[in-house]
Copies of this chain bind each other. A is one copy, B any other.
Amino acid sequence: MVSQPMINTPIDEEVYKGLLQELEQYRKQHERLRLLFNVTRNITRELTIDRLLLRIMDEVKNVLNCDRCSVFIMDDENQELWARVAHGEDEIRFPSHLGIAGYVATTGETLNIPDAYADYRFNPNIDKKTGYRTRNMLTIPMRNKRREIIGVFQALNKFGGPFTNDDEELLDAIGAISAGQIENAQLYEEQKKTFDSFLETLATTIDARDPMTAGHSKRIAKYADEIAKVVKLSDTEREVLRTAALLHDYGKIAIREAVLTKKGRLTPEEFEHIQRHPDFTRRILEKINFTGKLKDVPKIAGAHHEKLDGSGYPQGLKDKEIPKLSKILAVCDVFDALTSQRPYRDRMNFFKVLTIINKGAGIDFDDFYVAALKKIRLDRLLVILEDEHQEKLRPGDLAFLSSFTLTDLMFAHAEIEPTLEQQKLLSVFTKYYTQAYFEKSKDDYI
């Protein structure tokens, strides 16, 4: 479209009409680019894959004026396409050659289908699963900068008729932007997953040096997270707490094995040596470049043996000087130590454990977090207690326990004439708690 020269009267009607048409085209393109720019700006702000996908689906829905949008991502390893069900929590997966999405992912063609059920490639099973009724659909491949197909965009049920050519172009452009952003998010999540599983593996192997504490750090991380949920910590605080929990005993790497695994009474020197472990934890973790939200992890992990009254170690911090997340670790640490199986003894009687923790509230532990511990749902508590024997947990029992907390259990135990329900509660919980298992050896953790 070349710029028109200024024309003197009389103005030619044909020229004028042409100008109006050109203007109309520009208006449309302008509107489309404006939309596209807004979509882009919104898309580039998310680096978490789930939120990114939800965001993309929302944007496409609005821009194309349609009822739904799905983004299917290629899983090359398993030859599958997967997607969050549009605006839901669930994930669907299917072989990467099936249905319309599979066709587009395989051939790289764009498909604009005005009537889905009339198309032989359409796989009605997804509608069946989701209870949705697909009418028209626009499906385009999504390519990364190397032009590889990394997924498929699918817009469903355009309001007021099938999708247009303009829609195709617009979705194509959104796809180009989204592909880069989705790959970025995948890279970020992959790195995060590797780091997380590294932390867990590390925690497991550190614990495994001492058969007494096998599985301890993972369980603490789980108990701590339950308390975090009860007291409504933020997602960020939960992540910090989980990291600190997994690493709280890392300093034990510097403790002599003979001391760590000694069965008899420790000499004063040995006792002093083993009490250095939280300090080692802090010092080692301080060498790690924990930045941003994780920067307090060394301090928090290193203070898990501090006590409210200042009688803890290594620093003898008091109440307000102790980081709140360390206070949570302290409660969970003792709870797990007392309720764990040991190679040479059974778990401590559960009600004795609770008595010890109750007595320590306000002296050793912060009341607030002891109270939170007692509010944990019993089914969740049991799943953590029986971390390594999940297969023994009966779903019916878990469902029953889900209506109760530790507090309920204590009440039931204290009752002289417990109700039938209280009796059941006591017997179900105790059945698992007192169950005997085969010992695991150190090698089982490696």
Contacts and interface: CB of A to CB of B under 8 A. Distances in A.
Interface of A: 3-4, 6-7, 9-11, 13, 16-17, 19-20, 22-24, 26-27, 29-30, 33-34, 36-37, 40-41, 44-45, 47, 145, 173, 176-177, 180-181, 184, 187-188, 190-198, 200-202, 204-206, 208-209, 250-251, 253-254, 256-258, 280, 283-285, 287-292, 294, 442-443, 446
A365 to B, nearest CB: 28
Decide if the interface of chain A is mainly helix, strand, loop or mixed.
helix
A30 B36 CA distance: 12
Given A195-B194, A197-B287, A446-B280, A24 B37 contact: no
Contacts of A200: 287
A292 B41 CA distance: 29
Contact of A41 (B27, B33, B177, B287): B177
Contacts of A26: 23, 26-27, 30
9 contacts: A7-B16, A26-B30, A30-B30, A197-B289, A202-B202, A209-B254, A251-B446, A254-B442, A257-B258
Contacts of A22: 23
Contacts of A23: 4, 19, 22-23, 26
A288 B6 CA distance: 71
A193 B27 CA distance: 47
Contact of A192 (B191, B196, B250): B191
A71 B257 CA distance: 53
Q: Looking at A19, A204, A208, which has the most chain B CB atoms within 10 Å of its CB?
A: A19
Given A20-B19, A191-B192, A253 B37 contact: no
Contact of A44 (B27, B180, B285): B180
Contact of A291 (B41, B190, B250, B446): B190
Given A23-B22, A47-B184, A288-B194, A254 B177 contact: no
